[in-house]
Structure 1
Amino acid sequence: MAGTTWRALLLLGVVLTVQLCGCTAYVGGGFSVEFIHRDSPKSPLHDPSLTSHDRVLAAVRRSTARSYTVRDPSGGVAEIRSSPYEYLMYVNIGTPRTRMLAIVSTGSNLMSFKCTNGTSGPPPAAGAAPVSYVFDTSSSSSYGLVACRLPSCHAVRGTSCDANSICQYHFSYSDRSTTDGILSTETFIFDDAPGGCVGCRERPQLQLTRVNFGCNTNTNGGNPFLLAGNVGLGAGSISLVNQIGAATSLGRRFSYCLAPFSVNASSIINFGARAAVTEPGAVTTPLIPSAVDAYYTILLTSVKIGNSTIALLDPIMGELTKSIKLPLKQSPEKLLDLCYDVGGTIQDWVLEKLFPEVTLGFGGGAVITLKAKNAFIQPQPGTVCLAMSAATDNVAIIGNIAQQNFWVGFDLDKGAITFAAADCAKSYPSPPASNHHE
């Protein structure tokens, strides 16, 4: 594959969890936020009746197009896609605060929440609030509207002007869901994660005023972006990371470390100076222009299975069949392309022994190695499947499963993405007893 250029998207359809307190310190070097996987006992979506295999299979169902393929330049590029909507976030907005549930995606720009005007009542007192799924704009003294003439209105696709020259939008999704709303401004508060500020009497806090976000006033369909709030961390000018960079000295950078779904541990995302990925073995690849302003796009120059460099999906399967000495098995619900009979549930160390590593080469010479658990999943007892399938369009997406146990750093100021292998189950610190505020 020497001399061949491939395009890949780093698109993580994730969701975060952040708990916000009434601290008053300013975040100077940055702040950290807790990721909670939707199946974690900390998540309101946790179903204790599901086994670990049930949860994996449910994630596969939620992923309408998880795929990985490499084609020749005339036919397309590499695509890697994993389940979106796997993480949850609580964020407080408004004055006084309303605690909202949100999805966070690096593949979208606009933050948006379901809104109403005077029908849901005032928000409960800070610290005692149950999760709200609707933001009552009439209860907040800091809520504002965005005029059509402002640049922020033109930064959002699908906008138009209402009779009062206020910026409104209409979005349509591939699943035929739609949403209508009003571009608005509001105060957002981000609290440092427990343990993030060692020695602090109170956890530092970042408060941003007049943040642009969407108030969804009418939604149709079952798209998760419509059923909960959405916090966009894409590369576009109106995304949260760009608005943080414009309003503070923290810069336009963030990084995260995703713990494996199989362990009961939170993950973490860092902003500002804390976003630097400096772990041993870190590699950096430059961002390249993308046709969609939200996407973080890099070049994928090579794919290797074990010691063999592969150019097509069929040879990948052929190489796996040669190297994996196990009987083939039909995929559960026919959701995945290649599955093996392993006789029973196996531990990670056995998975690594039986299944090969996948090595990805990127622009600028960066190379990362995906362990077997980044490329294979166990959707039911006795079955291990390749978490990759043929692409159906011309983009590649490196998703949640492939990124587990890596620090992944996004730096829009430097125009680069950095990777470093890590034990992400240890990335989210347990709070000291004297520093725990809920």
Structure 2
Amino acid sequence: MKRRLYQGTDFRRAQNIDELRAVARRRVPNFCFEYVEGGSDDEVTLRRNRSVFEEIGFVPRTLVDVSARGQTVDLFGKPSAAPFLIGPTGFSGLLAKEGDLALARAAAAAGIPFVLSNASTLRLEEVAERAGGRVWMQLYLYRTRAFAAKLVERAKAAGLEALVVTTDSAIFGNREWDRRNYARPLKLNLRNTLDVALHPRWILDVLVPDGVPRFANLGDLLPPGRDSVRGAASAIAKELDPSLSWTDIRWLRDMWPGKLIVKGVMTAEDAALAAECGADGIVLSNHGGRQLDGAVSTMEVLPEVVSEVGGRLTVMLDGGFRRGSDIVKARALGADAVLLGRATTYGLAAGGEAGVAHAIDILKTEVDRVVGLLGCADLSQLDASFLRWPGHPMPPARNTGPGRGILSPVAGLATNSNQKREAQI
């Protein structure tokens, strides 16, 4: 019998993120799925974000007691129940009813942070109040700086923990496959219009009774009547600011008393500049392969960035994470946490809040299994000695000593399992 992945529509039967992706593809119209799925130009970076994980091999230890395992990590002085969080994904309200809230609630239930997209279809105050948990907010520094300042004040009043300022979209990426769904800007072509009609469950969930969702946090930025998901795209593109610089990060730092995270860093030099500007953390990101095509993956720059700013900044990254093993590899190279974009968005598109929860559970289960099979009782014991990456210099192991922080050959007891993970590799 030929092997094949699950072909049905019940998200609960998906055993991994790829199967959840297939369920999502069947549930939502093509133009929605393409917005989530596509990259820029020839999608070289999009593919590279995934292929890099196949280059990195594990080197497991054996005869280690892993009967009790843990994956809780420390993020800005607070525990997070897993080494990943949900990153900002725009247009979530087009995938499921109140999609932003569904993502936030699933994250809160799982004990991990959630980053609300700047382009959400629910007000940030509503998400903070109804979701609970740790809510962070993505911010674009548009040309209209007064709007950004007002959004910062709203986030402050709502008690949000962190701002995640996205810096890699000063110029909009060339997403050709997304544009091919439209006969002209904002007008679906005939093929996609007919395809929408073939998705009655999506229509009832998303469009009934209020029609196309509207951006809830961009009202002061957009022209009157242009705040719908369909009508705002061109107006937002005009607000992107090519003059964005580190001066703007310092300006934002002066206004914002909470944690400030710079997203879009891809070099050790820029990571150091973020630290100099007062950032608390960074997110290594190539925008999921949706901006500069041909860019390297975040995993390729992670070791040098951690070597430069580890211990000074919280170092996170995104880009292509689909398996718990991918997340474990990033942790072993020094990352504090991973931001998930498409992985949890597939869950949202496949089954709303319950689908997101299923995606999180899949990844938490995989992380737990991989850590145990590596011969680790806790993520704090991971370092680069558990990896082989041909052609790439590996950083030195953080844990040293007779048992390399894993097993004491004298006492036969695991060591360092409760010791805080060293930030610098």
What's the TM-score once normalised by structure 2's chain length?
Answer: 0.25
| Structure whose residues are more often helix by fraction | 2
What's the TM-score once normalised by structure 1's chain length?
Answer: 0.24
| Structure whose residues are more often strand by fraction | 1
